[in-house]
Amino acid sequence: MGNLVMGYWDCPVCGSKEIRGDVVNCPSCGRARGDVKFYLKTVREGEIREENQRSDIEYLTEEQAKYVSKNPDWYCSFCNSLNSDNAQTCNTCGASRADSESNYFDQLKKRQEKEAAEQAAQPQVSSAAPKRSRSPLAVAAVILLVIVGLFMWMNGRKTVGDLRVTALNWSRAITIEENRLFSESDWELPAGAEETDSRRELHHFDSVLDHYESREVQRSRSVIDHYETYYTYEDNGNGTFTEVSHQRPVYTTEYYTETVQEPVYVQVPRYATKYYYNIRRWTPSREVTSSGEDHNTAWPEFTLAENEREGERREEYLFTVEHTEKKNQSPATYAVGEEFWNTLNVGDQMYITAKRSGSDPYISDKDGKEITKIRQVR
């Protein structure tokens, strides 16, 4: 059994504090020790003390410890007084211990359960100014609402109506391809190629295990260096506490050398047949274009040489608008389909609707209803 330590109690009747655990009647009001909780004067409940942190512990002498029972005090069922385990009758009212129904720990457990239930039933009121604390879930919900609101606002559409067409432009282009002869090489002969040579050449290297080599490496591990003692304090339920010693390991890092086998690889060359050949391919060689600022669109005229052919055709139809009210706004140029572009004329008024983020513009009516899609060029 560990050393005994003097406990203390507070009088629940007059409020006197730090009454020694071997005192059974309050020195101030004389009431017998009743429904109390023992505690240590210098050690908090559940606190751990190291070997060198026990100078303030109030130990009982061997002589004092001889008169302390090993069992908790018992409660008198008639006057609710605490009595030593050595007493067979209540020191206050003389009732028999045989009529007792509980001891110190039984009453302590009931009181703690009652206090917990009362605390759970009462509303949590702060002594400071009322301040509602938001749960993490509520905070996350607010942030989500802000993000959704911002997203919806950014994706909301704005219609601009003070726009006038100031210019029309069109351009058309045709890519002319030439059939050219190329000299190439590859590991496979493509269709239509005329082979000129073939030979075995290095294709790649394979990593192949050759052998193992021994190598010493330094490693570390945690090992127990020694044990150190620490102490806790257990309520005996009779005005004293027992100091209980515990052992815990203290670790240190140990370094050691270990021999390992590491694989050694060699690079083995692999060969394959490489083909050299001539092949004809259609390749863009030039471009012919036409453009204008009116509705008289036309594809450019051109003449093909013997080894040429017509390739990709491209066309673009642009219009430029300026603000009639906001003179400080720069003109903007948009691309639109040919069919709608042919209906536009310089001087036309129009509405353009776009997201507030500036993407996905389209020509609309004054209410923002889409007429045709456009793409901003500049």
Model confidence pLDDT, tens digit, residues 323-334: 988 878 889 999
Position 136: which residue type? Answer: P
**259 lies in some domain:** yes
Question: What is the average pLDDT across 260-277?
Answer: 98
Give residue 158's pLDDT: 85
Strand 332-335 with 19-20, pairing: unpaired
**215 lies in some domain:** yes
Torsion of CA 247, 253, 256, 261, to 10 degrees: 110
**158 lies in some domain:** no
Whether the CB-CB separation of 285 and 157 falls below 8 Å is answered with no
H or E stretch covering 145? helix 136-154
Domain count, the chain: 1
In the predicted model, is pLDDT for residue 1 greater than 90?
Answer: no
**168 lies in some domain:** no
More confident call, 112 vs 311: 311
Residues in CB range of 225: below 8 A, 6 or more apart: 249, 250, 251, 252
Give residue 132's pLDDT: 58
Query: Whose CA is closest to 23, among 31, 15, 13?
Result: 31
Q: Write the Ramachandran bin of 257: left for phi over 0, alpha for psi from -120 to 50, otherwise beta.
A: beta
Alpha-carbon gap, residue 145 to 171, rounded angstroms: 48
Based on C-alpha coordinates, what's the Rg of the chain? 48
Give residue 357's pLDDT: 64
Give residue 242's pLDDT: 96
In the predicted model, is pLDDT for residue 8 greater than 90?
Answer: yes
Alpha-carbon gap, residue 348 to 293, rounded angstroms: 15
Render pLDDT for 215-252 as a digit per residue (tens, 0 to 9): 999 999 999 999 999 999 999 999 999 999 999 999 99
Render pLDDT for 50-100 as a digit per residue (tens, 0 to 9): 999 999 999 999 999 998 888 999 999 898 899 998 899 998 899 999 989
Q: What DSSP character marks residue 98?
A: G
Which is it for the CA torsion 119, 124, 125, 129, positive or negative?
positive
**202 lies in some domain:** yes
**82 lies in some domain:** no
Q: Write the Ramachandran bin of 284: left for phi over 0, alpha for psi from -120 to 50, otherwise beta.
A: beta
Question: What is the average pLDDT across 144-164?
Answer: 73
Give residue 325's pLDDT: 86
Name the band, by pLDDT with cuts 50, 70 and 90, for residue 120: confident
Where in the sequence is the domain holding 211, given as residue range(s)?
Answer: 180-227+249-277
Query: Whose CA is closest to 237, among 20, 4, 38, 89?
Result: 38
Whether the CB-CB separation of 37 and 9 falls below 8 Å is answered with yes
In the predicted model, is pLDDT for residue 127 greater than 60?
Answer: no
**154 lies in some domain:** no
**320 lies in some domain:** no
